[in-house]
Structure 1
Amino acid sequence: MTAQDHALCSHCLLPIGRRAMRLTVNGEACAFCCYGCCIAYQVKHGKTEEWEAAWLLIRLGVGGFLSMNIMLFSLLLYSDAFSGADAEMLPWIHLLLWLFATPAVIILGGPFLREAWLHGMEGRLTSSALIVLGVGAAYFYSAFATIEGSPQVYFDTATMVLMLFTAGYYLDAAGRARAARDLQPLLAAESEWATVVIGDGEYRRPVREVDAGVLVRVRPGERIPVDGVIMEGESHTDEALLTGESRQIAKGVGSHVIAGSINLDGPLLIQSRGVANATRWAQICRSVRDALIRRSPSQRLADNIVGVFVPIILVLGIGASVYWAQHLSFDRALLIGLAVLVVACPCAVGLAAPMATSLGIGRLARHGCLVRDPAALEALARIRLIAFDKTGTLTSGQARVVAIDSDGTSADAVLAHAAGLERHSEHGLARAIAAAAAARGLEPVAIHDVRVVPGRGIRGKSDGRIVAAGSAALMRELGWSLTPNLAEHGRQREASSHSVIYVGWGEQAYAALSLDDTPLPEARSTVEALRRRGVRVTLLTGDLPAAAVRIAAAVGIETGDIEAGLTPEAKRAALGRRRHDHGMAAMVGDGLNDAPVLAGADVGIAVGSATDLAREAAAVVLPPEGLRTLPWVIDVARAVRATILTNLAWAFGYNLIAIGLAMVGVLQPVLAAAVMAGSSIVVVLNSLRLERLPEPVPSAAAESAPASRSTATSNQKAA
């Protein structure tokens, strides 16, 4: 007997056997012994979307049973089965239909009546009002006809219209519940609990109460609730929720872990490194919630149109009934008016934008891309120009040794002496030199009596000789001459905006180290991918023109699309000029001085390593090392906008045609309701296609990094 055979139903706690029903409810995997337990559990424990879908399914089942019986007897009436000697049974059949129809109308129509009443109290007419008026007219007309003994009743019309609309609403709610289940892990940061270790005891605490320095125990299979450092244990983590990367990452003592990732195979003791509500997971949670609450321009437009559309349809429905009453019987004219009200119900219009937008925002959030406003998603789809900042956006933002020019001394000897000095310094260039030496496996030369010479470099002693690294001015101050060849190399490097450090010992300068900020491995492919999508790319930077030209050439930006030496205000003005020439423009940046231009762009995009101010000013935030996802983000935005436009075109186009057919008497109310429900289903299915969009291109940085280091090392050795 397997472990599965011992599993219990999540609702009734009976054994589930081999054919269990499995469903994710509130982000938790559940198993059920039967479909009834599955529905009951969702009603009792499900969040809004799941609860709504489950209740609709229950109403659909009860209402369907009653409606099918009504349809059975109605078909007998339409076939004149109760004629001749059986005619005396006709009033009793009508009464039986009335008895079946009354609970069906209450069960199926109750939600529509409640919604119409609440909106009516606010002075608004919505699609529910059309349904209530149409169904109510058919039901009460049939009730009066039953009392008066009229041969024509339309209880089947009233109940089947409600059945079809409820079926459409159920499919809509099921689609929303599916989208909500996909988003549940992203939105759970604020409701998570953590196992806090205090002394020898473990206590469950809400994650919002966990502060920096607190020890948290995370068992295998649990989601890590805090950002922190592993103090005890080894495991693998899955960070797909935040980065979109499906690969497992090995973690051990001293490794950093991020909140929202899953601990896969080993218990961990983690020390929190910050307040729980400041983690990236919590930021994603807040951003997604805020974005889903806001309404996009397409949604607002659709809402405004529906607000005008519903009163017009009421007038058209009444007008159609009045007109046809002069040519047909009253009951036939009533059915035509009812068909107009039913077929024009703007359910599909109301779903057209919200569902596509929610799915798009959720898809981006699952890959760590935050969208603060749905309007930004729609604007991003129409972007024709993207301007990049340089440092920290297209480049790593950290200096690296890119060349070693010497007069014949080996590069390893130069780096070993330089690293021996620079390990005593906290300067950014010093760290770059130490990293270059470590990459070659060099042991720094032991140097003592180290002294920093402000603004010029650093000096010390080794084996009784002075060792120095710094500017040409420091070399001259020490009385050390530069060979003509070395001096020329240094001038050329400085003219290209490289930082140059001369290294010497024993009263002679032996080499010049060139350091520079290097382009990100994915920068060029990102620029090329944007161009293939018809987006013009430009570089706006505050750096020197020579550095801007060099980086632009490396990533594939044309010389005419470069503006350098810009202040923050000048960047904003430059973007405004280019927007005037090329159309809607986005700005990608990460620095403090990028905040004004990010806020002034049609869409401001901040990279994950951006400063807090830049992130707050941006409408879209990419994940760390997420520049490669930018073309994919644009693809998703375009797909969302295309889906919204397709949904709206279908919904409005369908309504116009269907209303015309209903007004000339071609559509019966039941057929009109079926077509209306079908329209909503088409919109839902069209929106769900967004879930099948391709994934972003995997990062090549990790794969190319070893090769890049190897190439850089070879180049330095050759130099």
Structure 2
Amino acid sequence: MTDDRLCRHCLLTIGPRAMRRTVNGENCAFCCYGCCIAFQVRSGKSEEWEAAWLLIRLGVGGFLSMNIMLFSLLLYTGAFTGVDARLLPWVHLLLWIFATPAFVILGGPFLRETWLDGVQGRLRSSALIVVGVSAAYIYSAFAVIERGTHVYFDTATMVLMLFTVGRYLEAAGRARAARDLEPLLAAESECATVVNGGAETRRPVREVDARMLVRVRPGERIPVDGVVTEGESHTDEAVITGESRQVAKSVGSPVIAGSINLDGPLLIQSSGAGTATRWAQICRSVRDALVRRSPTQRIADRVVGASVPVVLALGGLTMLYWAQRLPLERALLFGLAVLVVACPCAVGLAAPLATSLGIGRLARCGCLVRDPGVLEALARTRLLAFDKTGTLTSGSAHVVGIESDGAGADEVLARAAGLERYSEHGLARAITMAAATRGLEPVVTGDVRILPGRGIRGNADGKAVVAGNSALISELGWSLAPALGERARSLEASGYSVIYVGWGDRVRAVLSLDDSLLPEARSTIAALRSRGLHPILLTGDVAHAAQRVAVAVGIVDVQAGLSPEAKRAALDRQRQRYGVVAMVGDGLNDGPVLADADVGIAVGSATDLARETAALVLPRDGLWMLPWVVDVARAVRMTILTNLLWAFGYNLIALTLAALGLLQPVLAAAVMAGSSVLVVLNSLRLERMPDPVRTPVPGRRSSTETENARHGLGVHRFGWAGAKNDT
């Protein structure tokens, strides 16, 4: 740090010991703590502003409350007796003067909340505080007017003081969570440096379109998806991909919006609109999830709403009971203690804070949570069902053989590609890639219709064209040469995926395709098993191919040849046995079953439909993160249950003591503030959960090899089988 930097608030020179604080996701320097608080009040967003403003109120209210307590202690020790008794009314008046602004400053938010709730015809925890404290304040005010002997301004102000301390600690916890989430939620407000000719202008990222040039300096967050056109650097992509390692970037390298440019300036050509990036999608998903209420939160809210009238009645009954045995002012204190100690602040905070921290913890590693209830459901899940293609395998299948019946391999591929280019299935992409590798132009095909779980059909040259599995061929009743059918069955028995291609009411060829297993699939399944989860495989592929993959990854329970409807039925049967079930999938066929599962999990490379129907989306190539996601979900649920158990148990014991007259109001307020603090501290433990660690897999392909395979450039192990039939 140097002496010539300026304070972010007052713009004065900062000394060698500057105070640094993250505000709105930006690291700011201040000359003192006062400037830090003032800047947060002026410029902070939501939780940060609330926490800073609460701290200011605490400072003013605390000064007044301490003076009230000082004079009250003199009253309790009998300092104003005998010859000084004439000063007692003036001391009471002085306490009233101090208590009134303290009551307004500290009690204002509680009064406002209670008024708004009353207008809407409901009661919440703030009503308990307002009723109890107002009773003590009004009783004391009348005692001053009537020259009574006892006033309880100290009780009223200290109760408000302690509850405000509790709210400040809650707000500080939420602000801390918000600061951690700021990089994820900044996509909508981010700006980009757009280069147009020789001029550079700052624009909101929502105004950036495809092919625009964007300059990103070292230390800045990349605002758009695109390709590097100038410069070299390293980027940190952990917020999107979950990978903590630095990624080298040079001319031609793709970059991801939301990642941080570390050590060199980059000029990036945007590949799409600034609002269409995965970073923006994460931002929208996290915002939506944070405003929703999880099932546990909704139950807790209903319990709190129902308990307030009961506690009000109990407080009144306690006061009436003790009023028949003790002086009225003592009975009033016992009733006030009941209202204060029963305030369910900790109950209302137990689930939301833990859920928000859990969502943020996952989102910082690129995992999208669309529904906060998914974390609690995943924590209770005992069975995980997996799709095969694109989930446990790379999804980058390639054509390894063509067996034809009187048709050339080029014609077969051209007609099949004309159909499959309309599909997003992994096998379809493999066929279109094989045609492109041979330099073939796909046959123009119209009236194309995808038949989920069976294949695809259309019309070309006035003839019906189909590409699909044996079920589709049987359904259509098309003829199949015995030799070709026997060869197809042999390939299926060997575990290859087989696509029947035909036109003119006859099957003309059989394509055999192979898919590579994800290197991390076996270790992921083993890790899930060690956590007590039962994995099963539900796939539309043939039994032999499914069994081969299942054996390779360590899954025993396999159900193959399933249509989307059959997958849903299979999942329903498993639900009857295991209770809560989850489905992990990728692809168009998985949309219905992902939506039907208690927890639908899609991998980042999934089709748009799979992503939209899934409640949880893992980053691209993020299957390895699934065990860690389960750990986070279980930690969130355990934290929520611990918070609720503590809050309800704490309230029940303290309420009993207060009703028996064993708890003073000030002590009751301290007890409740302590309860909220413990809930906050317990929830913040979620932030200390370790990041996911990707276990190195022996024999894992390099990124270059992966790209070659994805583009059909790898050497096929079997070459072009059946070339003898090419004509």
**Common fold: TM-score over 0.5:** yes
Determine the structure 2 residue equivalent to 1:358. Answer: 356
Determine the structure 2 residue equivalent to 1:695. Answer: 691
TM-score (norm 2): 0.83
**Structure 1 gaps, min length 5:** 404-417, 436-446, 455-487, 502-512
SS of match in other structure, 2:219:
coil
SS of match in other structure, 1:390:
coil
Determine the structure 1 residue equivalent to 2:493. Answer: 495
Question: Shift of residue 120 of structure 1?
Answer: 0.9
Alpha carbons 1:500, 1:514 under 8 Å: kept: yes
Determine the structure 1 residue equivalent to 2:725. Answer: none
Q: How does 1:221-240 map to 2 (within 5 A)?
A: 221-240=219-238
Letter in 1 for 2:616: V
Determine the structure 2 residue equivalent to 1:97. Answer: 95
SS of match in other structure, 1:704:
coil
SS of match in other structure, 2:335:
helix
Question: Shift of residue 708 of structure 1?
Answer: 13
Letter in 2 for 1:549: Q
Determine the structure 1 residue equivalent to 2:55. Answer: 57
**Alpha-carbon distance in 1 for matches of 2:649, 2:526:** 39
SS of match in other structure, 1:518:
coil
Question: Shift of residue 656 of structure 1?
Answer: 1.2
**Alpha-carbon distance in 2 for matches of 1:72, 1:654:** 30
Determine the structure 2 residue equivalent to 1:645. Answer: 641
**Alpha-carbon distance in 1 for matches of 2:107, 2:226:** 53
Alpha carbons 1:400, 1:518 under 8 Å: kept: no
Question: Shift of residue 133 of structure 1?
Answer: 0.9
Determine the structure 2 residue equivalent to 1:666. Answer: 662
Question: Shift of residue 245 of structure 1?
Answer: 1.9
SS of match in other structure, 2:547:
helix
Alpha carbons 1:383, 1:583 under 8 Å: kept: yes
SS of match in other structure, 1:5:
coil
Matching of residue 245 in structure 1 with residue 243 in structure 2: yes
Letter in 2 for 1:603: V
Q: How does 1:535-550 map to 2 (within 5 A)?
A: 535-550=533-548
Q: How does 1:266-277 map to 2 (within 5 A)?
A: 266-277=264-275
**Alpha-carbon distance in 2 for matches of 1:238, 1:580:** 44
**Alpha-carbon distance in 1 for matches of 2:313, 2:59:** 34
**Structure 2 gaps, min length 5:** 402-408, 418-428, 444-485, 500-510, 719-727
Report % sequence identity.
Answer: 73
Cα offsets for 1:312-364 (capped at 9, x unmatched): 00000011111111000000000000000000011001101100000000000
**Alpha-carbon distance in 1 for matches of 2:487, 2:285:** 51
Matching of residue 128 in structure 1 with residue 126 in structure 2: yes
TM-score (norm 1): 0.84
Cα offsets for 1:643-693 (capped at 9, x unmatched): 111111111111111111101100000000000100111111111111111
Cα offsets for 1:24-71 (capped at 9, x unmatched): 000000011101000000000000101110111011111111111111
Cα offsets for 1:440-476 (capped at 9, x unmatched): xxxxxxx9xx98999xxxxxxxxxxxxxxxxxxxxxx
| Counterparts in 2 of 1:171 and 1:314: CA distance versus 1, 3 Å | same
Q: 1:631 aligns with which of 608, 627, 632?
A: 627
Alpha carbons 2:340, 2:665 under 8 Å: kept: yes
SS of match in other structure, 1:4:
coil
Determine the structure 1 residue equivalent to 2:74. Answer: 76
**Alpha-carbon distance in 1 for matches of 2:58, 2:272:** 49
Alpha carbons 1:360, 1:690 under 8 Å: kept: yes
Alpha carbons 2:187, 2:283 under 8 Å: kept: yes
Alpha carbons 1:339, 1:662 under 8 Å: kept: yes
| Counterparts in 2 of 1:163 and 1:453: CA distance versus 1, 3 Å | closer
Cα offsets for 1:268-323 (capped at 9, x unmatched): 11111111111100000000000001100011001111111000000000111111
Q: 2:604 aligns with which of 605, 608, 628?
A: 608
**Alpha-carbon distance in 1 for matches of 2:548, 2:309:** 63
Determine the structure 2 residue equivalent to 1:428. Answer: 430
Alpha carbons 1:401, 1:433 under 8 Å: kept: no
| Counterparts in 2 of 1:202 and 1:353: CA distance versus 1, 3 Å | same
| Counterparts in 2 of 1:369 and 1:598: CA distance versus 1, 3 Å | same
| Counterparts in 2 of 1:146 and 1:620: CA distance versus 1, 3 Å | same
Alpha carbons 1:609, 1:624 under 8 Å: kept: yes
SS of match in other structure, 2:561:
coil
Q: How does 1:578-593 map to 2 (within 5 A)?
A: 578-593=574-589
| Counterparts in 2 of 1:430 and 1:278: CA distance versus 1, 3 Å | closer
Q: 2:680 aligns with which of 684, 688, 698?
A: 684
Question: Shift of residue 4 of structure 1?
Answer: 2.3
**Alpha-carbon distance in 2 for matches of 1:494, 1:612:** 30
Question: Shift of residue 705 of structure 1?
Answer: 2.8
Q: How does 1:324-403 map to 2 (within 5 A)?
A: 324-399=322-397
Question: Shift of residue 497 of structure 1?
Answer: 2.7
Letter in 1 for 2:7: C
**Alpha-carbon distance in 2 for matches of 1:517, 1:716:** 12
**Alpha-carbon distance in 2 for matches of 1:348, 1:500:** 59
Question: Shift of residue 495 of structure 1?
Answer: 3.0
Matching of residue 566 in structure 1 with residue 562 in structure 2: yes
**Alpha-carbon distance in 1 for matches of 2:699, 2:132:** 64
Alpha carbons 2:581, 2:598 under 8 Å: kept: yes
**Alpha-carbon distance in 1 for matches of 2:703, 2:265:** 35
**Alpha-carbon distance in 2 for matches of 1:232, 1:141:** 75
Letter in 1 for 2:620: P
SS of match in other structure, 2:584:
strand
Question: Shift of residue 243 of structure 1?
Answer: 1.8
Letter in 2 for 1:661: L
Letter in 1 for 2:125: S
Letter in 2 for 1:256: P
Alpha carbons 1:399, 1:432 under 8 Å: kept: no
Structure 1 vs Structure 2 CA RMSD: 2.9
| Counterparts in 2 of 1:284 and 1:706: CA distance versus 1, 3 Å | closer
Determine the structure 2 residue equivalent to 1:300. Answer: 298
Q: How does 1:132-531 map to 2 (within 5 A)?
A: 132-399=130-397, 428=430, 495-498=493-496, 516-531=514-529
**Alpha-carbon distance in 2 for matches of 1:494, 1:124:** 65
Letter in 2 for 1:552: A
SS of match in other structure, 2:651:
helix
Determine the structure 1 residue equivalent to 2:615. Answer: 619
| Counterparts in 2 of 1:150 and 1:709: CA distance versus 1, 3 Å | same
Alpha carbons 1:605, 1:621 under 8 Å: kept: yes
SS of match in other structure, 1:186:
helix
Question: Shift of residue 205 of structure 1?
Answer: 1.2
Determine the structure 1 residue equivalent to 2:404. Answer: none
Alpha carbons 2:497, 2:541 under 8 Å: kept: no
Cα offsets for 1:238-268 (capped at 9, x unmatched): 1111122222111011110010011112211
Question: Shift of residue 701 of structure 1?
Answer: 5.3
**Alpha-carbon distance in 1 for matches of 2:151, 2:492:** 93
**Alpha-carbon distance in 1 for matches of 2:682, 2:494:** 53
Alpha carbons 2:234, 2:247 under 8 Å: kept: yes
| Counterparts in 2 of 1:500 and 1:315: CA distance versus 1, 3 Å | closer
SS of match in other structure, 1:184:
helix
Alpha carbons 1:586, 1:604 under 8 Å: kept: yes
**Alpha-carbon distance in 1 for matches of 2:377, 2:703:** 38
Question: Shift of residue 564 of structure 1?
Answer: 0.6
SS of match in other structure, 1:150:
coil
Cα offsets for 1:215-256 (capped at 9, x unmatched): 111111111111011111111111111122222111011110
**Alpha-carbon distance in 1 for matches of 2:385, 2:284:** 28
Letter in 2 for 1:57: L
Question: Shift of residue 703 of structure 1?
Answer: 7.8
Matching of residue 705 in structure 1 with residue 707 in structure 2: no
**Alpha-carbon distance in 1 for matches of 2:659, 2:197:** 77
SS of match in other structure, 1:124:
coil
Alpha carbons 1:229, 1:270 under 8 Å: kept: yes
